[in-house]
Amino acid sequence: MSKFFNPRPQFGDGTNVSKLSELENDVGFILEKDLSPLKNEIAGKVDILDISNVAKTGEYKDLTGTPTIPSNLSHLENDLNFIKTNELKSTEEIVDLKTRLSELETTLEKLLNPPEETEE
């Protein structure tokens, strides 16, 4: 191994650092001893036996009262009256619907953008 590589950090005087507690906590990491008062305060307010299962697992399946999400559109109410394929009689009817739609679009375009009148 190279004489320049030392896997253990050293203090300025060359002695090895063997514990984090030997270093200065200049960035303010939270220490276990700092959490003790907080743990005691929480312990008196939350009983792990009284909380719901989802609070312990974080799993959606552990929620209660969730809505049923339909797996098929047929399970939903057709409140917008979409045309169902079994309601179409033939290919001609589809072509007729497309033609009528095109005519309506043309009429709407004329209504929204009337031709400018020229003065004589």
How many angstroms separate the CA atoms of 14 and 56, rounded? 48
Q: Which stretch of 3-17, 27-41, 44-58, 76-90 has the lowest confidence by average pLDDT?
A: 3-17
Domain boundaries, the chain: 32-111
How many angstroms separate the CA atoms of 38 and 41, rounded? 5
Give me the half-sphere count of Cα atoms (radius 13 Å) on the Cβ side of residue 63.
7
pLDDT digits over 66-113, tens only? 888 888 888 888 888 887 777 767 777 778 888 999 999 999 988 888
**Dihedral through CA 43, CA 44, CA 48, CA 49, nearest 10?**
150
Task: Decide if pLDDT at 58 tops 90.
Answer: no
Six token digits for residue 18: 């063997």
DSSP codes joined into one string, 62-97: G-SSPPPPPSSGGGS--TT-PPPGGG---HHHHHHH
Helix (H, G, I), strand (E, B) or coil at 53: helix
